[in-house]
Structure 1
Amino acid sequence: MANGSGRVCRHTVVDVFNRRESVMPSRRGPKNPLNHEPEAVTYAREQAGLTKTQLAAACGVALSLISEIESGTRNATPSMIRKLADALNCPPVVLERKRTQDTHPVTEFDGVDSR
């Protein structure tokens, strides 16, 4: 295959793709747990009567970001949660992940029951 300089390129598209895969780092998944509830974002958007495209435009972001936030493959930053809440006319707390305290009360200490 000629490359415009008269020389023949011996690389195929597959070679270039495989090289790119080995050189480029893979994207990490979202933070676990997420800052937002993906289902809540979708529900609020549907209740507001907006499409993903309309919500993206209202927030000033790409459609792909909205899709990733709703699917849970991308974490919504606190500022993004505020933008979504403003566009959806709902309080930010509706869209935020509900935190639960991971409490494991100690009922026994050094063999003595503390109850």
Structure 2
Amino acid sequence: MHQRPLDHDPKRIRRRRVAAGLESQELARRVGITKSAMSKIERGRNNASPGVLERIAEALGCRTTDLMPDAAHEVKST
């Protein structure tokens, strides 16, 4: 079975959570998901839905694009 590419960068989420001084359980509580689901998102085992990614960004005080792979930050020139 082919796994869909991640819509988020797990390392960015973890770095921002740690920088915010939050344990994964506290971030999960603020986002409204289980600690297990948060852990899977941070390890790249699960893809965060757009709604969950928005709530993670809100809880971390950043934009959803800040949690996405570098390609999401690139602007294509024509």
Q: TM-score range by the shorter chain?
A: 0.7 to 0.9
Mapped to 2, the partners of 1:29 and 1:49 lie a distance apart of 35
- The size of the alignment, in residue pairs, is 73
CA distance change for structure 1 residues 94 and 57 in 2, over 3 Å: closer, same or farther? same
The higher radius of gyration belongs to: 1
Higher helix share: 2
Q: Which portions of structure 1, spanning 4 or more consecutive aligned residues, are displaced by more than 6 angstroms?
A: none
Long gaps (5+) in structure 1: 1-27, 101-115
Long gaps (5+) in structure 2: 73-78
Relative contact order (C-alpha < 8 Å, sep 6+): which is higher? 2
TM normalised by structure 1 equals 0.58
TM normalised by structure 2 equals 0.84
Mapped to 2, the partners of 1:66 and 1:30 lie a distance apart of 19
CA RMSD of aligned residues (A): 1.9
Which residue identity is paired with 2:58? D
